[in-house]
A and B are shown apart, each in its own frame.
Chain A
Amino acid sequence: MLKDITIGQYFPGESFVHKLDPRMKIVLTIAYVVMLFLTNNVYGFIISVGFLVLSYSISRISFKMILKSLKPIVPIILFTAILNLFFVNGDPLFKWWVISISAQGVKLAVFMSLRVIFLIAGTSLLTYTTSPIELTDGIELLLSPLKKVKFPVHELAMMMTIALRFIPTLIEETDKIMSAQKARGADLESGGIVQRAKALIPILIPLFISAFRRAEELALAMECRCYHGDEGRTRMKQLQYSWRDAFSFILISVLIITVILINMFIKTGSF
């Protein structure tokens, strides 16, 4: 049951988007988010959405995946919509007791919800097309200037790698412990919330003990393989920018500039 959980939801592929340097993909994702938040106009919005649709089509990730990624954040979208709906002042369309809904409110509610939806859709594409290792490597390299101010970039990346490595192992172990406790008559499925939470204790304690033992052994094994942090360490995989990265970078820059110009000069259709 627990085995179905997949982390990162990476779909391997050979598309243009897959082949982009992970550093560039992270930068592009951030640029896309910035673009979404700069946009305050229908035309700018169409540009952002166009970029998203284009990226999804090129990477051959099914649009159904967008729906899947949206599922967990439906409450957030609703919350944003309701907040905007009731608390934006303007000419009332509808009034009852203390509640009033304005035309501006409706507009903003729709707009903000769409913004959140496209934000999630865009950032999900990053994890759909980038393997967790590439992502970790990308983050480590992008943040490497922060080493100068003693920020533990390498340690952070190493922690992420190890976490990713051990998630499947620990999930498997949790499954085993659950079966073992069930075989001893533990009841994990019935009862109220409090009772169920209590039933988790005999699963969590062995899991933690084993995780600590594993950590100790792993540390020893790493020491035996001469691990001593970042100092003097090289990497087998060297990331390299290609024409694809240059092209995408120019494209997103042009789009962002266009969005800014539209904001400044076109007044129709703004929110």
Chain B
Amino acid sequence: MNEIIKTENLVFQYEGENNSDIMVLNGINIHIKKGEFVAVLGHNGSGKSTLAKHFNAILLPTKGNVCVDGINTRHEEKLFDIRQKVGMVFQNPDNQIVATIVEEDVAFGPENLGVEPSEIRKRVDEALESVDMYEYRRHAPHQLSGGQKQRVAIAGVVAMRPDCIVLDEPTAMLDPRGRKEVLKTIKELNDTYGTTVVLITHYMDEAVNADRVIVIDSGDILLDGTPKDVFCQVKVLKDAGLDVPQVTELAYELRKCGLNINVDVLTEDECVEELTKLLEE
């Protein structure tokens, strides 16, 4: 079993006013393998957060099933196992830090799981080191920058030793520097510790580094594949109200003008390479 999250025909609807149900997710099938780095894209209100909340049983499907490491999220007695396996980080770092001291906050998750005190100490130190916040362990949260706070929040999840971390727009409230710090941390967790990462984001350039990109549009999966496969579908993405990385857009426009250039460029380096190739011809 190397699938950490599996959804089968996941349908979810909110009960709206006067008994009309609002469909948010209409039959989603996603299989996420252990160790994968998946980016989820979609415009506002497309259902990304709702989908994410199904991954650790905050929400239960109206129809269909969600399985976490083989456990159906409908099994109520397995709730804490599921939430230990799939950790979640939210947008606003201020509203997810519970304790008044950084290390106390990181200890919060393992404490809830009933881990032995000496083992908690070990995990807290390791988690803080893995997000590069060890020297701030005795600080109060309000003395930290946004990016640092968000890394503490990530450490709080890491200390629970999850198999998978779901991050719901973790960089939306940060400045460019904070964004970079957080992204680097996430990438490192994925590379070094093999933690599965599901990154929900609005920023296309954050999705470029993922192994796989899933695009959600009004509760359906629009595209699912490697960043290259997904971003070269410039027209489909634009119709769904999404941007593509700047360099991809440049290549796309050049091709539309009749130049013979590959559209599947994602980074500046690749773009430069393609352009020099074009000029040499």
Contact = CB atoms under 8 A, between A and B. Distances in A.
Interface of A: 132-133, 161-162, 164-165, 168-169, 172, 213-214, 217-218, 220-228, 232-238
B142 A172 contact: yes
A165 B108 CA distance: 14
A232 B113 CA distance: 7
Interface string B141-183: 1100000000001001100100000000000000000000000
A132 B113 CA distance: 24
A226 B80 contact: yes
Given A214-B94, A214-B95, A217-B96, A236 B109 contact: no
A236 B112 contact: no
A138 B38 CA distance: 44
Contact of B99 (A161, A224, A226, A233): A161
Given A169-B142, A228-B80, A236-B107, A223 B58 contact: yes
A226 B94 contact: no
Interface residues of B, number: 40
A226 B83 contact: yes
A236 B124 contact: yes
B252 interface: no
A221 B99 contact: no
15 contacts: A168-B140, A169-B94, A214-B94, A214-B95, A217-B92, A224-B87, A225-B108, A225-B109, A225-B160, A228-B112, A234-B117, A235-B117, A236-B107, A236-B111, A237-B117
B99 A133 contact: yes
Contact of B98 (A132, A218, A237): A218
B84 A226 contact: yes
A168 B156 CA distance: 21
Contacts of B88: 221, 224
A13 B281 CA distance: 72
Nearest to A133: B100
A216 to B, nearest CB: 8
Interface of B: 56, 58, 80, 83-84, 87-88, 90, 92, 94-101, 103-104, 107-117, 120-121, 124, 140-142, 153, 156-157, 160
Contacts of A169: 94, 142
Contact of A234 (B95, B97, B114): B114
B91 to A, nearest CB: 9
Nearest to B108: A225
A240 to B, nearest CB: 11
B196 to A, nearest CB: 16
Contacts of B111: 233-236
B131 to A, nearest CB: 16
A126 B101 CA distance: 20
Contacts of A234: 110-111, 114-117, 120
A169 B160 CA distance: 26
B95 A221 contact: yes
Given A165-B100, A233-B111, A235-B117, A226 B95 contact: no
Contacts of B97: 165
A236 B88 CA distance: 22
Given A133-B99, A221-B96, 18 more contacts: A133-B100, A161-B99, A161-B100, A162-B98, A168-B140, A217-B92, A223-B83, A224-B58, A225-B156, A226-B80, A226-B112, A234-B117, A235-B111, A236-B104, A236-B110, A236-B120, A236-B124, A237-B104
Nearest to A214: B95
B79 to A, nearest CB: 8
A52 B112 CA distance: 40
> Most B CB atoms within 10 A — which of A132, A165, A169?
A165
Contacts of A213: 95
A94 B18 CA distance: 80
